[in-house]
């Protein structure tokens, strides 16, 4: 009896254990089903070995693998083979030629690169030419030349940059009856003086109505239409003392005339032109009738402003190369016989000089 009861009790205990176990198993399964129902979340700790499609094993939330989304990481999406003509910096790695550059700033000109439309650099030689000069200012002086090279400025289409000059060298050697011509329509040449040359100037053609002409057609004297006097032109005996000047003019035969003489102070004043203080009608009181010094002089006899490269006489009258423009008159100072009156034609100054001084001479005839 005791054994039967023990067996019965054992059966009850086993039944109770089975019931409790089944309930626990059901609770666990319900929990698992609830967990598996959440999208994309697997919270079980066991390894899911099933092959169904319920479980999403990728790490992103978008399982769409079509080409709608661009996932490339390069910054330049221009991978084609055409020419890139934009003006930004080309960072693509393709092998095409990048022809984009600065905008064109010029279309023509010595200093414009017409291919690129850009100014040429300041190292570009855009012009080369020759300059000419004379070796001196006398007849027979040579023509000299040098090369001049000009460069671009780098900021302009025209040739306006720096210049570089070469050294001077002889280009033409001129004979004595020729003058150097550095400029003009035919520069760098020697011009022949048909009627003679003096002081780097060709004599003009002689016109008998206004000048004395020698057998070669050269002018040897000038006729003053105002005073009616005829003057030696050019003066041929510069820088001599007073007594030699007197003798020179008395012995002169020019244009078949032999009645030449050294002019008096009044006659010499008639040559003054452009200074109304000392010309023939000026206020200077030194004349052929008043020759004392200083009693016959006044402030007007000082003349006018001193000229640098000019002189107070008619432009038709020429000067010698070695002309000092200090000319003797034949009038002696009345109260000082060792002196004579003279004129400085650069200032039209009427003054005196010792007769032993060497001055210029210009003979005249009436």
Q: How do residues 164-202 score in pLDDT, each as one tens digit?
A: 999 999 999 999 889 999 988 788 899 998 777 777 878
Task: Kindly indicate the confidence band of residue 321, based on its pLDDT and cuts at 50, 70 and 90.
Answer: low
Residue 156 lies in a domain: yes
Q: Do 336 and 286 sit in the same domain of this protein?
A: yes
One domain for residues 188 and 236: no
- Model pLDDT for residues 66-103, shown as the tens digit of each residue: 444 444 444 444 444 444 444 444 444 444 444 455 78
Residue 159 lies in a domain: yes
Q: Could you tell me if residue 66 is inside a domain? A: no
| Dist. CA 143–CA 190, nearest whole Å | 7
More confident residue, 199 or 22: 199
Domain around 338:
229-365
Query: Which pLDDT tens digit goes with each residue over 109-118?
Result: 999 999 999 9
Are residues 313 and 260 located together in one domain of the fold?
yes
> Are residues 167 and 242 located together in one domain of the fold?
no
| pLDDT number for residue 36 | 45
Residue 39 belongs to a domain: no
Domain end marker among 144, 170, 192 = 192
- Give yes or no: residues 161 and 239 share one domain: no
Decide which of 169, 192, 215 is a domain's last residue: 192
In a domain, residue 301? The reply is yes
Q: Based on the domain organization, do 159 and 264 belong to the same domain?
A: no
Q: Is 238 found in the same domain as 345?
A: yes
Verify that 238 and 356 share a domain, yes or no.
yes
> What is the number of structural domains in the chain?
2
Does residue 50 lie in a domain region? no
pTM of the full structure: 0.51
Task: Say if residue 174 is in the same domain as residue 242.
Answer: no
Mean pLDDT confidence for 141-151: 96
At 133 the pLDDT is: 94
Better-predicted residue by pLDDT, 304 or 212: 304
pLDDT band at 309 (very low <50, low <70, confident <90, very high): confident
**348 and 290: one domain?**
yes
Q: How far apart are CA 146 and CA 144, in angstroms?
A: 7
């Amino acid at each position: 009896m005791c054994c039967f009861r023990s067996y019965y009790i054992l059966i009850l205990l086993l039944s109770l254990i089975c019931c409790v176990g089944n309930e626990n198993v059901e609770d666990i399964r319900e929990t698992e089903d609830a967990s598996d129902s959440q999208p994309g979340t697997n919270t079980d700790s066991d390894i899911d070995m099933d092959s169904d499609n319920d479980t999403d094993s990728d790490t992103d939330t978008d399982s769409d693998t079509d080409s709608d989304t661009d996932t490339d990481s390069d910054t330049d999406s221009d991978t084609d083979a055409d020419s890139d003509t934009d003006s930004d910096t080309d960072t693509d790695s393709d092998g095409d030629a990048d022809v984009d550059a600065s905008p064109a700033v010029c279309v023509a000109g010595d200093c414009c690169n017409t291919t690129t439309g850009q100014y040429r650099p300041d190292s570009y030689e855009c012009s080369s030419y020759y300059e000419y000069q004379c070796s001196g200012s006398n007849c027979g002086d040579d023509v000299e030349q040098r090369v001049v090279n000009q460069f671009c400025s780098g900021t302009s289409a025209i040739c306006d940059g720096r210049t570089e000059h070469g050294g001077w060298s002889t280009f033409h050697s001129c004979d004595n009856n020729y003058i150097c011509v550095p400029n003009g329509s035919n520069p760098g040449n020697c011009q022949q003086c048909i009627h003679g040359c003096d002081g780097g100037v060709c004599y003009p053609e002689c016109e008998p109505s206004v000048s004395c002409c020698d057998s070669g057609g050269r002018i040897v004297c000038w006729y003053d239409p105002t005073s009616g006097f005829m003057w030696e032109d050019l003066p041929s005996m510069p820088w001599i003392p007073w007594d030699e000047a007197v003798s020179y003019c008395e012995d002169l035969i020019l244009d078949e005339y032999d009645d030449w003489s050294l002019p008096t102070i009044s006659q010499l004043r008639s040559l003054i032109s452009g200074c109304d203080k000392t010309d023939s009608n000026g206020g200077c009181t030194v004349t052929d009738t008043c020759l004392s010094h200083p009693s016959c002089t006044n402030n007007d006899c000082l003349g006018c402003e001193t000229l640098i490269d000019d002189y107070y006489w008619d432009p038709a009258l020429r000067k010698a190369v070695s002309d000092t423009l200090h000319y003797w008159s034949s009038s002696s100072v009345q109260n000082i016989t060792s002196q004579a009156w003279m004129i400085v034609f650069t200032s039209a100054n009427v003054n005196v000089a010792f007769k032993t001084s060497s001055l210029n001479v210009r003979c005249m005839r009436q």
